[in-house]
Structure 1
Amino acid sequence: MRGSHARSYAGHDHSHAPGVDANNEWRVGLAALLTGAFMLAEVAGGIISGSLALLADAGHMLTDFASLALAWLGFRISRRPADWKRTYGFDRFQILVAFANGLALFAIAAWIVYEAIERLMSPHEVAGGILVVVAVLGLLVNIVAFWLLQGADRENLNIRGATIHVLGDLLGSVAALTAGAVILLIGWMPIDPLLSLLVAVIILRSGWKVVTAASHILLEGAPEELDTRAIGPDLIANVKGVEDVHHVHVWSITQARRMVTLHASICETEDSDRAVKAIKARLKERFGLNHATIEIERGVCADAGHEEAHA
């Protein structure tokens, strides 16, 4: 059984979707280049105008550039083939990057809140005209970057994390544009930090979703949409010869790569090879589980002595 599974490992199609990953990679890479290039332009605009708001946003974009570059690196590394030390390959690196990007969003939101409170307590003059011009350019750049990421796999956690960073920049540009217009029209300076607080709340909420989803995968949690309690009863009811199912473990390498291992007790007259094929077919059809490792048993479970320890 173990030998047959080892042989099938090299031949399985694990649905890594290399075309999708390559599409994700170049889109994130181009978004990173756009963000990095505009960050330099924003630093220049902030220095010329004396606008702390623009310099602060440039610092925000620096962290976003780093996050997008890290996301690109995640896709790049995940393309490396599996080896004897890493039999599942490097796909999980994408999840690590998504988790890190989610934590970075927390830091960015906290920094924006700190800056906003400081500006509310100590208002300062901002050159509204330059602020509006740079904000418009930033909005255009962020719209292009956001459009690029919308064409990628939006269910991918790495893409979701990168998209939230860009969305935060886009909202920041909208907030800066609105603030600049208000400052030009009526000269009310507190509008800038107040809108920044709103952006921080949106970023924090989105970052929380990415972190919780990534940590669930890193902790080997079962896919959210799958009730593992239903697997055993379903196989007993729908696969001929299956009398009991136990030691069911379901987890994900990435959202697209879901794994399951289980023990199946079959009747004495049932052919084990046929049972394995039937169980795998049912798992794929009913639960969308393409990679299954099945241990066939007759009578007492081989791990019966360890059941209490692992209960």
Structure 2
Amino acid sequence: MAEHGHGHAAGGDRRYLTGALALITGFMAIEVVIGVIARSLALISDAGHMLTDAIAIVVALIAMRISARPPRGGYTYGLKRAEIISAQLNGLTLLLLSAYFIVEGVRRLVHPPEVQGLYVVLTGLAGIVVNLLATWLLAKADRGSLNVEGAYQHILNDLFAFIATTVAGAVIWLTGWGRTDALAALIVAALMLRAGWGLVRDSGRVFMEAAPVGMNPTEIGTKTAALDSVVEVHDLHIWEVTSGYPAMSAHILVKPGADCHAVRAAAERLLHDEYGIAHTTLQVDHAPQELLTVGAPATHCRAPHGPAHRRLA
């Protein structure tokens, strides 16, 4: 059985996340003060986003530690889905923040306050540097984990936010047009909305035990049914325990007299080599005689789950 887990060592990922956390929290405190002085919604929205960045990284670190605990008691997979809960929380936070900044940005478009453009430019440039370093650190971690990807998306969106904020500050400083600050906040909100929806959607697929993206259960069932001596494949289920950990179960019926163990081994090789599924539970039985008739209904199981895949003539 192949070892389950992400490609990078968890200890290395924790170091990268901790380094990014130190950068983010230190700069966030400075930005809040400057944002209030400059009366800039774009800067305050950036600071609010950086707060969620810090929370996202802390939650990711906690989830990483919890998910590493071995299985015990009723948790037969351990607590690996703690990372998916973390990703879902990160996505929901981004969606809620985007809604707030859309409302506030529209309000400031109608009634723009006076914004100190020079403060915004200088803070924005410093924020770009800080977020570039934090993004670089998180990019070195295992982004195959939705947990790490959630923290990465927070930091990446904050980098985009600082770029938009810096541009807005420069326009305000040079032209005095205060509505640019609100427009920058709306751009940031749109980026948050996109990233947040992606995280909620992907983590939701794991919670709903949908097949991993890129895996077609019908195709897998058809290919398995095409193996030598296989008559039918049904009760086929493919899901993810956590990101990067696909699993599959199925009931395979073979011709009377066929070697069930050999068929199971062949199916496991197919699933591992072509689809990267290393965790499988395959029940292999001899098909009843009536099932061998062409066009006969599946009668082996009282309540089959899902479609049956049969060997093509």
Question: When the two structures are superposed, what TM-score results if normalisation uses the length of structure 1?
Answer: 0.88
From 165, 168, 182, the equivalent of 1:179 is: 168
From 254, 258, 282, the equivalent of 2:242 is: 254
Quick check: which one's helix share is greater?
Answer: 1
Unaligned runs of 5+ in 1: 1-11
Equivalents in 2 of 1:98, 1:193: separation in Å?
Answer: 29
Instruction: Report the counterpart of residue 304 of structure 1 in structure 2.
Output: 301
> Could you say what secondary structure the match of 1:262 adopts?
strand
Q: Is the 8 A contact 1:228 1:250 kept in 2?
A: yes
Equivalents in 2 of 1:68, 1:308: separation in Å?
Answer: 40
1:100-141 deviation per Cα after TM superposition (whole angstroms, max 9, x unaligned): 111111111111111211211221112222222211111111
Q: Is the 8 A contact 1:18 1:79 kept in 2?
A: no
In the TM superposition, structure 1's runs of 4+ consecutive aligned residues that sit over 6 Å from their partners are: 308-311
Instruction: Report the counterpart of residue 76 of structure 1 in structure 2.
Output: 65
Once the two structures are TM-superposed, the CA of residue 50 in structure 1 deviates from its matched residue by 4.8
Equivalents in 2 of 1:203, 1:56: separation in Å?
Answer: 11
Name the Cα RMSD after superposition: 2.3
Question: When the two structures are superposed, what TM-score results if normalisation uses the length of structure 2?
Answer: 0.88
Instruction: Report the counterpart of residue 242 of structure 1 in structure 2.
Output: 230
Instruction: Report the counterpart of residue 265 of structure 1 in structure 2.
Output: 253
Once the two structures are TM-superposed, the CA of residue 143 in structure 1 deviates from its matched residue by 0.8
Unaligned runs of 5+ in 2: 289-297, 309-313
> Could you say what secondary structure the match of 2:226 adopts?
helix
The question of 1:44 aligning with 2:33 is answered: yes
Equivalents in 2 of 1:214, 1:202: separation in Å?
Answer: 19
Counting aligned pairs with the same residue, the percent is: 34
Residue identity in the other structure for 1:133: L
The question of 1:191 aligning with 2:188 is answered: no
Equivalents in 1 of 2:234, 2:307: separation in Å?
Answer: 12
The question of 1:294 aligning with 2:291 is answered: no
The question of 1:107 aligning with 2:93 is answered: no
Equivalents in 2 of 1:170, 1:293: separation in Å?
Answer: 44
Equivalents in 2 of 1:310, 1:244: separation in Å?
Answer: 10
Equivalents in 2 of 1:53, 1:241: separation in Å?
Answer: 65
Equivalents in 1 of 2:139, 2:145: separation in Å?
Answer: 11
Q: Is the 8 A contact 1:179 1:192 kept in 2?
A: yes
Once the two structures are TM-superposed, the CA of residue 25 in structure 1 deviates from its matched residue by 2.5
Instruction: Report the counterpart of residue 295 of structure 2 in structure 1.
Output: none
